[in-house]
Amino acid sequence: MLNSFEQFESNFDRDINKKLGNTQFRVPKTTTLTYAYKKHFKSKGTPLNKDEFQDMLKEVILDTGVTGIGGAKDLILYIFGVPITAFVIKQSIMPRAIPNEIFIPSITSATVFILAKLNKI
């Protein structure tokens, strides 16, 4: 339970982004948090209830947005871009050394493995 605006602000920044993993909220402005807190926290002197917190969170998310879209674009670029680039290089250097049926899945699997090890996916 949250009793003050400072607790609400610190919980938003620390706990929510930690729980979401790769998709993260942009850190909202203090003015946005203050406005949402004052607008939705009606029961002064008592802890913040779940419904009030959800209303505040919705308003803050709509105002600040989510940064997960950029990460998704990067992921798609890596998963498709690296194998295509490797394929073009292979075709120009040694087109018959490794069959394409083996080369393309191998490069794609290696790309996914590296992204997983780097905690990108």
Question: Cα(35)–Cα(76) distance, rounded to whole angstroms?
Answer: 37
Each residue's pLDDT tens digit, 36-95 = 878 877 777 777 788 888 888 888 777 766 555 566 777 788 888 999 999 999 999 988
> In the structure, what pLDDT confidence band is assigned to residue 106 with cuts at 50, 70 and 90?
very high
DSSP letter string over 94-115?
A: -TTTS-HHHHHHHHHHHHHHHH
Which residue carries 């087109």 as its tokens?
95
The dihedral through the CA atoms of 76, 77, 83, 87 has a sign that is positive
